[in-house]
């Protein structure tokens, strides 16, 4: 029952007990009904305290990771996977993620989550996402290597070009930020 219904029942039982207080048997029955309603309200208070404690647990829920903490946790996860968990299960770069996913979740994830959650608060889904992204990049490099030396050369050229373009964009952004701070009239 909800609090409102309990309060109404308590008020109606107390008003009925005051109107029927002429007989002793009715007063004893009303006192027993009052004690049962007080027991109900005390059990309800206990359940409310449990609910309020669970709501405080909700406040302690894991918040989404920002870039800095994600990178820091990712480094820690990869260190643990490569060193300590290497004997438990090793993710194979040659196989696809779909073929290994069940083994990763059942064998590697529980131990890894227990180890990482001693220091950080991370969900299992985020750890799986980190491992999947790492596998995707390693699997892609493996596939390029399987295509032959020409594909490897083209991939290294692509990486160099992308790095140069990203650095150029970063320099331009810094220049615009500097001009905006300086109050340049052409940039608003």
pTM of the entire predicted model: 0.55
Q: Residue 63: which pLDDT band, with cuts at 50, 70 and 90?
A: low
Location of structure tokens 């007989």 = 23
Q: What per-residue confidence (pLDDT) applies to 69?
A: 83
Q: What per-residue confidence (pLDDT) applies to 23?
A: 41
Q: What per-residue confidence (pLDDT) applies to 129?
A: 92
Sign of the dihedral defined by the CA atoms of residues 63, 65, 69, 74, in that order: positive
Q: Higher confidence at residue 44 or residue 187?
A: 187
Query: Domain residue spans in the chain?
Result: 67-147
Summarize pLDDT for 116-170 with one digit per residue, the tens.
888 888 888 999 999 999 999 999 999 999 999 999 999 999 999 999 999 999 9
CA distance 160 to 156: 6
What average pLDDT score do residues 46-65 get? 45
Q: What per-residue confidence (pLDDT) applies to 30?
A: 43
Q: What per-residue confidence (pLDDT) applies to 54?
A: 36
Summarize pLDDT for 78-110 with one digit per residue, the tens.
888 888 888 888 888 899 999 999 999 999 999
Q: What per-residue confidence (pLDDT) applies to 50?
A: 37
Q: What per-residue confidence (pLDDT) applies to 173?
A: 94
């Amino acid at each position: 029952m909800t609090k409102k219904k309990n309060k109404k029942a308590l008020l109606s039982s107390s008003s009925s007990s005051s109107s029927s207080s002429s007989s002793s048997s009715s007063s004893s029955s009303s006192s027993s009904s009052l004690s049962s309603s007080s027991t109900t309200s005390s059990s309800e208070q206990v359940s409310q305290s449990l609910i309020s404690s669970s709501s405080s647990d909700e406040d302690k829920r894991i918040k989404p990771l920002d870039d800095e903490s994600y990178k820091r946790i990712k480094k820690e996860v990869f260190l643990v996977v490569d060193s300590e968990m290497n004997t438990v299960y090793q993710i194979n770069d040659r196989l696809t993620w779909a073929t290994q996913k069940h083994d990763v979740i059942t064998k590697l994830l529980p131990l890894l989550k227990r180890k990482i959650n001693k220091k950080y608060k991370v969900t299992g889904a985020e750890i799986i996402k980190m491992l999947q992204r790492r596998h995707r990049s390693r699997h892609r490099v493996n596939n390029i290597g399987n295509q032959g030396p020409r594909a490897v050369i083209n991939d290294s050229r692509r990486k160099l070009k992308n790095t140069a373009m990203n650095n150029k964009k970063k320099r331009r952004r810094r220049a615009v930020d500097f001009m905006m701070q300086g109050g340049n009239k052409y940039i608003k």
